[in-house]
Structure 1
Amino acid sequence: MGAEGVAARASQLPPRLVLPGFEPEFVSVAKGAALGDSAYDSLLMDFSVVEAGLRAQEEGYAAVCIDTVSDSGLDALRSRLDIPVIAPGAAAFHVACMLGKKFTVLTMWDEWFALYEKTLTAYHLWPRVASLRSINTRPDLEELLAGKEEVVFQKLEDAARKAIKEDGADVIVLGSTTMHQSHTYLSERLPVPVINPGQVAWKLCEMFLTLGLRHSRKAYPAPQAPNDAVYHGFAN
């Protein structure tokens, strides 16, 4: 991902949301997947995110906040790292459960449904899911929604209203951190809370660091024979 793509992702976290003493840094993975539209691409996502997370701890970062609602590499990083690892899918879904009874994941296209099906199953959250809905629009992972607001935002609003009326959703979760530009628009127009996953993940990251919390070693046992060089070799 180029500098413009990284900047577009960083814009999801305006300075007003960053507490004093914290400094978020958005770093691109060395070799990312194309669209996350298949099991083939998902494996690349896992591998590239894990490599970037390993690098982050080696370089002295205080925590890793994964920037994809697929939560790619989450379990592997928690197994290997001693610093907190936060993922926006888990963060957003669980916060949605605190804000309402049923949530809908609103996303760009059906090809991403498999990503949510995997994590929602792992988190045992299906009883709290109203639906998965998409606007069947191919995502642009570099420019995100810039220049497409007039068309895409209305489609997202229409799909969200259907989720509320037809599926019983009382919370909407954006299905990708690449959709963050639509959050204000949707929040101002919909009668239910709209969760911006990247922002929720970041605030949880701040909270974990402030409270001195990190993942359980019983839940995520460390490898007895780690081989970080294999991951770093993939990136070179």
Structure 2
Amino acid sequence: MDTGKRRILHVLPVAVPPHAWQGFAEQFPAGILDGDTEVEFTAPARGPANMIDSDYERTISDVAVLAAVESVLAAAENAERDFAAIVVNSMSDSGLLALRSRVAIPVVGAGQASLTLASCLGSRIGVVTMWRPWHALYSSAAAAAGISERLVSVRDIGIRPDAEELLGDRETVYPRLLDACSKAIQEDGADVLILGSTTMHPAHQFLAEQLDVPLINPGVAAQQLAQQLVRARLTHSRRAHPAPARPDSGLLAALTART
């Protein structure tokens, strides 16, 4: 049904069931979404089961994200008309470059968006995250953004994350996150911080109110960048991201079909 609003599609890179998508939708507090914009979520039918914790899962998630979007393209009469932009709702930026090659509408990744924003707000960037296997995501994203030398701190709290339950036991998690933020600032010299996952958004307000440096919520950064690109009628360069000669949605569907 056409609501007359600009629809932005958020793609999760892991096989999160639909009943858990509302937890991700809650990362956009009042005032974040433009009045003429609405957000929809999707996730791969198959892919990493919960989190992206290794090179193996990062590769699978790239394919899974592309397949999830191909499914939306196949179901819509004209997906690039129906959707104004696509957001990869993860610091992993899974499938980001492939999606830019596949579609002409803007495609934004939470990792790239939050690091770019951080570079505008400070000179020494820190990331506070859940556990060590995610550290590689941030060095890769910083290198892709050309700001590796400005990523001075990555700290974790040693708790395995959960894409469905998000932060789980907040009485345990929140104080540990605050301690990690404080150490990133005081010991590592970070002057701007990023939450290391879009699944960590419930802690943003609690932490931001107690810190004296900016704290970036990556999902919000990506959403607002997507909105800005749509308003400005800008999208990625076809010279930088050439379209595929022969998209193979059939192969992607076969690889990711439910069994």
TM-score by length of 2: 0.87
Structure 2 residue aligned with 1:86: 108
Give yes or no for the alignment of 1:51 onto 2:73.
no
Structure 1 residue aligned with 2:150: 128
Structure 2 residue aligned with 1:198: 219
Larger helix proportion, structure 1 or 2? 1
Q: CA deviation at 1:116?
A: 1.7
Larger strand proportion, structure 1 or 2? 2
CA–CA distance in 2 between the matches of 1:4 and 1:226?
31
Q: RMSD of the alignment, in Å?
A: 1.3
1:5 to 16, 20, 24: 20
Structure 1 residue aligned with 2:206: 185
CA–CA distance in 2 between the matches of 1:119 and 1:53?
22
Give 5+ residue unaligned stretches, structure 1: none
CA–CA distance in 2 between the matches of 1:201 and 1:55?
22
Q: Which amino acid aligns with 1:126?
A: S
Structure 2 residue aligned with 1:228: 249
Give the secondary structure class of the aligned counterpart of 2:38: coil
2:170 to 143, 146, 149: 149
Q: CA deviation at 1:3?
A: 3.1
Give the secondary structure class of the aligned counterpart of 1:20: coil
Give yes or no for the alignment of 1:72 onto 2:94.
yes
Give the secondary structure class of the aligned counterpart of 1:190: coil
Q: CA deviation at 1:234?
A: 2.0
Q: CA deviation at 1:55?
A: 3.2
- Which has the larger displacement, 210-219 or 113-122? 113-122
Q: CA deviation at 1:145?
A: 1.1
Q: CA deviation at 1:120?
A: 1.6
CA–CA distance in 2 between the matches of 1:173 and 1:182?
12
Aligned residues: 235
Give 5+ residue unaligned stretches, structure 2: 1-15
- For the 8 Å contact 1:106–1:172, the answer to whether it is kept is yes
Give yes or no for the alignment of 1:16 onto 2:38.
no
TM-score by length of 1: 0.95
Residue by residue, what CA displacement relative to the aligned partner does 1:195-231 show, whole Å, maximum 9, x if unpaired?
A: 0000010011111111111001111111222212211
CA–CA distance in 1 between the matches of 2:248 and 2:43?
22
Identity within the alignment, %: 41
